[in-house]
Amino acid sequence: MRTLCASTLIGEFFVIGFAGLVAMKVSGLSVATVWTVCGIAMALCVLLCGMLGRPGAVHIGWALQIGLVLSGTIVTTMYVLGAAFAGLWWASVHYGRKVDEAKARFASARAGTAGADTA
């Protein structure tokens, strides 16, 4: 799960940066405001990559996805991109957990057969 989620977060990192460039031109917000918000969101993406094994990280990721969709109020394209990344986040979490479960089953089955071979 961590690999899939981290890949999604790194993609979001770049999208948020590019959205910040657009927001500087199309919104009435100051450059400092735009880059403060974008910088915090980008830092959160990178920090979450390292926190994905900890409890609550997936929930923080969901909060980030909601923020990304809501950023469409400033840059309207972000409604679409935010929804796309929310879908990717769901798929990363959902299928990543299934892959982790399959790996655990495979490892336990392999450990069981290795123990039977040595007996």
Q: Supply 7's token pair.
A: 């890949």
**Residues in CB range of 96: below 8 A, 6 or more apart:** 1, 2, 3, 4, 5
Contact 52, 6 (CB under 8 A): yes
- What is the reported pTM? 0.85
Contact 1, 97 (CB under 8 A): yes
Q: What tens digit of pLDDT does each residue of 4-48 get?
A: 999 999 999 999 999 999 999 998 899 999 999 999 999 999 999
Q: What tens digit of pLDDT does each residue of 51-62 get?
A: 998 999 999 999
